[in-house]
Structures are given as C-alpha cells and as structure tokens.
Amino acid sequence: MTWTDVQLDADRVDLRDWTMCRQGSAEETAVRLPHDAMITEPRSSDASGRSDTGWFPGGRYTYRTRWYADPVYRGRDVQLRFDGIQGESVVTVNGHRVGAVRSGYTEFGFRIDDVLNWGDENEIAVDVDNSAQPAGRWYPGSGLYRSVSLRIRGRVRLEDDGVGVRTTLHGADAVVEVRTAVVNDSDGPVRVRTVLHSEAGAVAQAVAADDGIAHLHVPGARLWSAEDPFRYELVTTVEHGGAVVDTRRELVGLRTVHVDARHGLRINKQQVNLRGACIHHDNGILGAATHRAAEFRRIRILKENGFNAVRSAHHPMSRHLLDACDELGMYVMDELADYWIQSKSTHDFSHRFLDTWREDADRMIEKDRNRPSVIIYSMGNEIPETAHPDGVALTREITAYVKAADPDRPVTVALNIFLNVLSSMNRSPYAGTSDTPEGAHPNKQGPGSTEANRLVNQIGRMMDVASRLPIADRATRDSFAEVDIAGYNYGLARYKHDVKAYPDRVIVGSETLPGDIARAWDLVTTYPSVIGDFIWVGWEYLGESGVGVWAPGRRTGLVKPYPYLIAGPGVIDLTGQPDFSLRLGQVAWGTHPGPAIGVRPLDRAGQPVARVAWRSTDAVESWAWRGCAGRKAEIEVYSADDEVELFVNGRSVGRRRAGQRRRYTARFTATYAAGELVAVGYRGGHEVSRTVLRSAADDLEIRLTADRTRLRADGDDLAFVEVEIVDGAGTVEMLADDDIELRVEGPAELVGYGSARPDPIRPFADPTQRAYRGRVLAVLRSTGRTGNVHITATSHLHGVSHLTLDAR
C-alpha cells in the first residue's frame, strides 16, 4: 500500500502558489512551493557565506499568498503550518503578526482563525531574513523551501500528530498500542475508535479507553523492514454527540527495534547491519527545495546502490524524505542538531540552543514516532562540549528527555574522537562558545568549521594514532555512557579497543571516509556490538566547497575558491550517478557482481593533483577518453576475488592480489589505447568474474533519457531527464564536454539544469549548460495542464535530440 492509495488529511489545504519579492525591489515574482530563493541568487567570490554556502549570498524576501476563508469553516480551528523556513521569519495574516520562525529544519504552526476575514480573501505574508551568512556549515537555501499548509479542524479533534503507535511482538502476532490525544473544547464526552486495515480489509479494531489508549491484536502480522516495507492503514475516528467529528488516516509499519552489545541491532528480532549513507538536505541542482519526487528518487537510487540506511546530517529530516524511506524501505537515523552551546558558524543559533532544544526535540519526535523507517535518534553531531562535565550533563538531560517522549528508539550522539581530544585540551577548532549574555558570540572571528576540516585533512591518518591514546577515551567515555549507542565519527582505530574495554557499549560508525569503508565493514561483520557504518557522504551536496575535490595543482588548500560549488566527497554525485568510490563499499558489502574498474582522469594524466582526506580516489568508471592515446593510465580495480588480471585489448597488463586482505584493491598502470579494458577475477586459480569497459565509437550523439514517461499534471510532479553524449552502443564519452541547450515546450517547465562539475559558472536556471564527463541532468516540473511535453537538446558538436513526455 502506498501513500497515493489512501486519502490523508482531508482538512488540509496546501498553499503552493505565492509571490516573492526581494528586499529593495518592487518586483513580485510568482513562485510555486517548495521554493529556494538562495539558488536563484548570483554567486560571487565576496559572498558573506563564502565556501560554506557554496559562494551564494543570503538575502531578505517577502512571500505573499491569498486564501479565501469560506464561512463554512467559521468556528473551526485553523492552523497555519510550516514544514520549514530557511531564515529568521515573521508571519502575518491580514497585517496581524501571528508568529515567528527561527529554525530552518523545525516545523511550526500558528492558530489564525481569530484574524481571518470570513467570506473574503485573506493575505498571508512571510518576511524572511536569511542575510546573515554563514548560518551553518553547508548550503542552507533561503525562504519557503518546504511545504506550507492550512489545517482546518473542529473544536473536537485529534491533535496534530496526536496518534502514536507502538508495536510489540508475541511470536508471529503483533500487539499495536495506539495512543490518541484529543482536543475537546466542548462539554460532552468523546469516543475514539481505531481500525487497522490491510489491502484485504480490516484486520483489527478497538475503542480507546479513558486514557486514550487502545490495543490492537494482529495475528500473523506482516512486519515492516527495509527488505519488505509493508504498511497497514490506520484509521482513527473521534465520535462526539453520536457523530464522527474527526478522522485521521495514516500508513503505519509494524516493527520493533532493539540494541545491545551481545546481539547488535535487531529489527523484528532479526540482526541487521547498517550500510549507511550520511546525506544533507539539499537536492543538488534544485537547491534546498524539498520536492517530494526528488526525495523519492534520492532514496530509490541510494537503495539501488546497496544502502539500507541514511543519516540525516545534521538536522531533522523532511516529511517527504521520511515518506520515501517508509515506502521504499530505508532505515533512518534522524538528527536533532549540528551544534549545542558552542558555535560552529558565524551566524548560527547556538546562543538559543538551551532555550529551544526541547521544542525542537518535541517536533522531531512527533514527526517521527509513527515512522517505521526511523530507528535511531541522534542528539547532535561533533559536539565538542561533550568532552567536559557540563556537556556530559547536557547529554544526559537531552537523552533522558527524548527517551521519556519515545522509549522505543535508541539514542546516540555522534562524536569526532579527535576533535573531542582537542576540546578536552581547550583547543577546539570551532568558533567558540556563545553561552554569553544577549546571545553575543565573543569568539565569532575564530577559526570555525573550516579549521576543523582543515585539521582533519592535514593530520589525516594521524587521527588513528590520536584516537588510540588514553586521552581520547577520557574525552568521550562519559558522554558515550549516557546514550544507547556510541556514535563514532572517524574513530575506526578505537573499535577493537573499545569493544573489549566496554563490553556493554554499542557502537555505530556515524561518519566514515569512503576510502575506509572496507576496513569499517570488516569490523561491523566481526563484532556484533558494532552495528553499522555511515559513509561521509552518501549523496553529493552544495556548500563546504571543495573539501572532497582532488583539484589540479600541488597545493590548492582544503576549501576551494570561487567558483567551486559542491563539497566533493559524494559517492553518488550531484546528478544521481554513482561515483567509482562507491564501488569499494559495494564490493565489501558483497552487493557488486564482479570487479569494479576505475581509471584516473586521462585528460589530467601526469599532472599534479592535490589530494584531500574526504575523497579516496578520483578514478572514473570509464575507458572512453577520446584524444588520450598513448597516455599513462592509472587503473584501480576493486574485487572480492583472490586475484585480478587486467587486459587492454586482449593483452594482459598484469595479475595482482585483491580480496579482503588487500582491502579489495589492486592497482595497475597501462598505456591508454581505445578499445576494451577487461578485469578478470580468480578464486583458487579459476576465473569466477569478469568486467568490461569499452571506449566510445565515433558516432557520438545526444541521448535523452527520462526517469518516467508520464508526468502527473498536478503542478508538483517532476521528471528527471539525463542528457548524455553517447555512441551507438550507449557508451558515454568522458571528454565530450559540449555546451548543450535545452528547450522545453508544453505543460512543463525547466526547474533545474546542471552537471556534477565541481566548479560551474552558469546558474542552474540557465537553459544552456556544459556537460561534465559527458553528462548533464535536467529537471522538469509539471504545470498543472495536460498534454505532450516536448524536450529538445542541441549541441553544435553533436546535433539535436528530442524526447516527448505525457502530462495527464
């Protein structure tokens, strides 16, 4: 059963169509939510956010929309709900201030029925100030980047997120406890009934007791897991005065979560190891706009590439992304914050944390508690104050608060072992504490997160040495003792020691470098108490420009100058293409069918390259390098086989050992010649696997491939169109970096167009883009009308290509 199979929130009105006006301008632009204003701003080398925001500036904006308040709703409770606004915001209705929003990732709602003009148009305005940058350590976006809606409820109603589900297992049967919270602004009693449906009909039902709790007995329950993400429909009705006055429908998955050091992580009493990806919130060429179709595409691609878990780094996850994880089957670690009291960015909100963390935690838990995909809460990321007694006490307080609100999910905190060591010596690289009067930031000119990244990059493997020292244990053990799962960022060297020193500790690799995935996975499969690993980073993101880019030159620095945009460490690139660095993890996991072959860029063969810790290789999975004949090719092969032999056009280049003892890696050099590059895997001296890469032929052309042939004509659906320069066999030519103009005609609009190039010049709204490694990605959004959508791609070098989609 999918989200489109049932009607949800019948009394919800989505507010999609707005106007947006920049401060200082009288021009209003029509926009359709979700909308990211930052992605439309011009980038420059003097942007205040600098590399953190990808050289985008912040800004001030006013959004306006109008809504007719039908008198039929008079006397009902009307809530204006925001799933997230990037920037400090003030909300007014008909000129009346109804509230303010100060957290970009937390949901907020305001009651507005007392300021509405019934039977007339009502103006809703949101003034957004996101000009103070950087407010975080990555690209945030600006404005109404998530959904905005009205919730219209009666005076007797279920609270928003007022239905909570808990599951216990008894053999093959499940008992579902349903807790309901009802608002009753009347004099009479209410009756709450809950019914659980499968596609075959009702499977269990009960009436809630006076305390709002009902128990549903489900014989032979079909349980939710990442492998089988089955969900039931839960229907909750409120009766008052003999009539049904409110109904809530939602899809719920029945599953249990347990962790302990002896058995590890168990989902539905079955052990699970997490093959995890850390992900930020942005959607690449769409900016921060949280489009439902983009979130589903992202989770689908991650799952197709072997991941079974994602960590929302470092903020609460959007509802659309949670929908995708629930429906497609992906475990989730949802995270409260990137900072607590100590500031990491010049204009972050750490000075408010002590006042707001409880409300932020409440909103996250209310959003997550019925989500089968959410299995772990993380309270923070790389929190340096946890090395000190006050930070340990705060860890204890936050953990206790979250566990009281949701006792079924384990809690972690993700600590960078090395940075905690520095913090314990009062040498934290972050920008300083903001725990001062008036929210002042006394050390805001300090080194900040850029320095933290630079230290880790420069010290590199010395982190392993530092993390083994007794001081590393002292700097983390007390805070780890307060949580259910110890989150280790870049702490692999401690695993063997800590599983023995702390036999009751459960460990998760909350961040691991892509090049360490084989080493990490060996530890996961060896020790039950090590429950999994999360690669930094699973999907490429905007901001922190260049921290994971191998750039030409001997010394380019960790953070790259304008026009660098992306961070660079993504094992899936900005357009959704798997990077060769991901293949190492897939080979270690056992999900890759044979040897994986990567070739270091031949257009830069022999040139110096500045390497960084957050990228293990710049190799590309291709043997199509036009014009590079005779150049020395550096080739990497990842294989679980005992040995690998490499052939260029039938001639053996050599035979090397591979497999687990060699970290699954064999390296070769060869002279590039167009044709075939073949890797053969051997076990026990016999061939067991083979992988072939081929060069592109001369008949290059543009190929357009969409992820769907039909768009829903609802004004919200997206189509992702891959624009590639290929030969007749479909081989992409790596050095065909043409300028490709895209034209869209019919009931769809081009909302994003760009490549995985780390340093693009043109904005993603430009209909002409230069291909990178032979590829560009276009995103089209339906307009709400029906008909044929005609797409035309034109290159002066490789002609014209057409594609037609159907919007209905």
Please give the Cα distance from 299 to 801 (Å, whole number). Answer: 29
In the prediction, which pLDDT does 453 show?
A: 62
pLDDT tens-place string over residues 523-557 = 999 999 999 999 999 999 999 999 999 999 877 77
Please give the Cα distance from 486 to 411 (Å, whole number). Answer: 9
Please give the Cα distance from 332 to 367 (Å, whole number). Answer: 13
In the prediction, which pLDDT does 429 show?
A: 73
In the prediction, which pLDDT does 461 show?
A: 59
pLDDT tens-place string over residues 764-774 = 999 999 999 99
Please give the Cα distance from 702 to 732 (Å, whole number). Answer: 10
CB-based contact 259:531 (threshold 8 Å): yes
In the prediction, which pLDDT does 407 show?
A: 96
Please give the Cα distance from 653 to 677 (Å, whole number). Answer: 10
DSSP 8-state assignment for residue 730: -
Region 156-170: mean pLDDT is: 94
Please give the Cα distance from 72 to 91 (Å, whole number). Answer: 25
CB-based contact 691:658 (threshold 8 Å): no
In the chain, the percentage of residues whose pLDDT exceeds 90 is 89
Report, in angstroms and rounded to the nearest whole number, the Rg of the chain calculated over CA atoms: 27
In the prediction, which pLDDT does 36 show?
A: 99
CB-based contact 292:280 (threshold 8 Å): no
Please give the Cα distance from 322 to 366 (Å, whole number). Answer: 13
Region 224-242: mean pLDDT is: 97
pLDDT tens-place string over residues 687-734 = 999 999 999 999 999 999 999 999 999 999 999 999 999 999 999 999
pLDDT tens-place string over residues 12-56 = 899 999 999 999 898 999 999 999 999 999 999 999 999 999 999
In the prediction, which pLDDT does 1 show?
A: 39
Q: Which of 418, 413, 378 is nearest to 486 (CA)?
A: 413
The pLDDT confidence band at residue 9, using thresholds 50, 70 and 90, is very low
In the prediction, which pLDDT does 443 show?
A: 35
pLDDT at 439 over 70: no
pLDDT at 435 over 50: no
In the prediction, which pLDDT does 442 show?
A: 34
In the prediction, which pLDDT does 103 show?
A: 84
The pLDDT confidence band at residue 511, using thresholds 50, 70 and 90, is very high
pLDDT at 737 over 60: yes
DSSP 175-211: EEEEEEEEEE-SSS-EEEEEEEEETTEEEEEEE--TT
Backbone angles phi, psi at 741, to 5 degrees: -90, 135
| Burial class (CB within 10 angstroms; exposed 0-12, middle 13-18, buried 19+) of 481 | middle
Give the domains, in start order, of the chain with CATH numbers: 3-152 (2.60.120.260), 156-252 (2.60.40.10), 271-544 (3.20.20.80), 588-608+627-694 (2.60.40.10), 701-807 (2.60.40.10)
The pLDDT confidence band at residue 3, using thresholds 50, 70 and 90, is very low
In the prediction, which pLDDT does 101 show?
A: 86
Q: Which of 490, 753, 499 is nearest to 614 (CA)?
A: 490
Please give the Cα distance from 494 to 473 (Å, whole number). Answer: 9
Amino acid at 252: V
In the prediction, which pLDDT does 269 show?
A: 97
In the prediction, which pLDDT does 427 show?
A: 84
Please give the Cα distance from 479 to 434 (Å, whole number). Answer: 21
Least confident of 207-211, 446-450, 597-601, 669-673: 446-450
Amino acid at 261: A
pLDDT tens-place string over residues 319-366 = 999 999 999 999 999 999 999 999 999 999 999 999 999 999 999 999
pLDDT tens-place string over residues 53-96 = 999 999 999 999 999 999 999 999 999 999 999 999 999 999 99
In the prediction, which pLDDT does 430 show?
A: 72
DSSP 8-state assignment for residue 42: P
pLDDT at 437 over 60: no
pLDDT at 653 over 90: yes
Across-strand partners of 264? 260
Q: How many residues does the chain have?
A: 808
Parallel, antiparallel, or unpaired for β 342-343 and 718-726?
unpaired
| 355's tokens | 């006042």
In the prediction, which pLDDT does 102 show?
A: 81
CB-based contact 202:196 (threshold 8 Å): yes
The pLDDT confidence band at residue 457, using thresholds 50, 70 and 90, is low
pLDDT at 449 over 60: no
Region 166-187: mean pLDDT is: 95
In the prediction, which pLDDT does 462 show?
A: 64
Q: pLDDT averaged over the chain?
A: 94
In the prediction, which pLDDT does 778 show?
A: 99
Region 96-112: mean pLDDT is: 93
In the prediction, which pLDDT does 454 show?
A: 60
Please give the Cα distance from 212 to 780 (Å, whole number). Answer: 46
If phi > 0 it is left, if psi is from -120 to 50 it is alpha, else beta; for residue 594 that is beta
In the prediction, which pLDDT does 450 show?
A: 59
DSSP 755-799: -S-SS--S-TT-SEEE-BTTEEEEEEEE-S--EEEEEEEEETTTE
Region 623-651: mean pLDDT is: 98
Region 131-154: mean pLDDT is: 96
In the chain, the percentage of residues whose pLDDT exceeds 70 is 94
In the prediction, which pLDDT does 7 show?
A: 36
